[in-house]
Structure 1
Amino acid sequence: MTAVPNPDRADTTDRLGTLDIMLPHYGDTALMQAAVRSVLDQTDKDWRLTVVDDGKEEGVPEWFASLGDTRVRYQRNERNLGITRNFRKCVDLVESPYFTMLGSDDLLLPTYVETMRAAVAAVPDAAIYQPGVEVIDEHGNPSTSLGDEVKKRLYAPKNTGRRLVLSGEPLAANLLGGNWLYFPSIVWRADAVKGISFREDLSVIQDLALIIELIKRGEKLVVEPVTAFRYRRHSGSLSSAEAATGGRFAEAIQFFGEVARDLDRHGWPKAARAARLHLSMRLHALTLLPGALRRPAAVRRLLAYALTSSR
Structure 2
Amino acid sequence: MQIPLTVALLTYNRANYLEESLRAILNQTYRDFELLVLDNGSTDETPSIVLSVKDERLRYVRNPPGHTAVFNFLSAIRIARGQRILVTHDDDIMEPEMLQKQMALIEARPDITAVWTNASVIDGKGAVLQPSISPVGEDRIYEVGEYIVSTKEAILWHPPSSMIFSHRLLSERHIRNMYLGSPGVSTRRATDEGDQILPAQMNLSGAVAFLSEPLLRYRRHSAQETNNAHLARTALNLFRALLRIMRKAPDLQAYEAIFQNQIVRFQAQDIVMSAKSWSERTLLKQMELLLKKGILNSANNVQSLIYLLPLIVFSLQTNREGVARSILNEIRLCDVKERPWMLALYRWAKHRCAGGNIFSTLPKNSRVVVLGSVFIAALLLFEAREAGVQVVCCLDSNIQRQGQVWFGCPIVAHSWLTTCSDPVELIILSSERDSEVETIEMLRAYDAVTPIRSWKDFAMTAEEVI
Measured against the shorter chain, the TM-score band is 0.7 to 0.9
C-alpha distance in 2 between matches for 1:165 and 1:178: 15
Q: Which has the higher contact order (CA 8 A, sep 6+)?
A: 1
> 1:83 maps to what in 2?
69
Alignment partner of 1:109 is 2:109:
no
Work out the CA distance in 2 between the residues paired with 1:296 and 1:73.
48
Offset from partner CA, 1:158-180 (integer Å, 9 cap, x none): 623xx431145542243353342
Q: Does 1:206 align with 2:194?
A: yes
Shift of 1:125: 0.3
**Pairing 1:232–2:210 present:** no
Please say if 1:166 is aligned against 2:142.
yes
State the SS of the aligned residue for 2:128.
Answer: coil
- 1:298 and 1:264 map into 2 onto residues whose CA distance is 38
1:186 aligned partner, one-letter code: M
Which protein is bigger by CA-based radius of gyration?
2
Partner of 2:38: 52
Matches within 5 A, 1:187-226: 187-193=164-170, 195=172, 197=175, 200-202=187-189, 203-215=191-203, 217-226=204-213
Runs (5+) with no aligned partner, structure 2: 179-185, 271-370, 378-392, 412-429, 431-466
Q: Bigger shift: 255-264 or 171-180? A: 255-264
Please, what TM-score do these two structures have when normalized by structure 2?
A: 0.51
Distance 2:157 2:89 in 1: 17
Deviations 1:286-310 (A, max 9, x none): 369434463248999x9xxx9xxxx
3-state SS of paired residue (1:44)? coil
SS of alignment partner, residue 119 of structure 2: strand
> Secondary structure of the residue that 1:57 maps to in structure 2?
coil
Instruction: Tell me the distance in 2 between the aligned counterparts of 1:58 and 1:188.
Output: 31
Change over 3 Å in CA distance of 1:18–1:264 after alignment to 2: closer
- CA 1:274–1:65: 2 relative to 1, 3 Å: same
Matched, 1:32 2:14: no
State the SS of the aligned residue for 2:29: coil
Q: 2:395 is matched with which residue?
A: 290
Shift of 1:43: 2.0
Counterpart Cα distance in 1 of 2:38 and 2:60? 6
Cα deviation per residue 1:173-194 (whole Å; 9 max; x = unaligned)? Answer: 4335334222210111232246
Distance 1:78 1:205 in 2: 25
Amino acid of the structure 2 residue aligned with 1:231: Y
Once the two structures are TM-superposed, the CA of residue 64 in structure 1 deviates from its matched residue by: 1.8
What corresponds to 2:104 in structure 1?
118
Equivalent residue of 1:294, what SS?
Answer: coil
Distance 1:264 1:272, change over 3 A: farther
CA contact (8 A) 1:29 1:57 kept: no
The Cα shift of 1:259 comes to 4.0
The one-letter code matched in structure 2 to 1:172 is I
- SS of residue paired to 2:110: coil
**Deviation by residue 1:108-147 (Cα, 9 ceiling, x = unmatched):** 11112221221111111011112242222222122239xx
Q: For the residues of structure 2 that align with 1:265 and 1:133, how far apart are their CA atoms?
A: 31
Q: Secondary structure at the match of 1:205?
A: helix
Shift of 1:107: 0.7
- Alignment partner of 2:239 out of 245, 253, 256: 256
Match of 1:72 in 2: 58
CA-atom RMSD, angstroms? Answer: 3.5
Paired with 1:252 and 1:181, the residues of 2 have a C-alpha distance of 14
Distance, in Å, in 2 between the alignment partners of 1:183 and 1:298 is 34
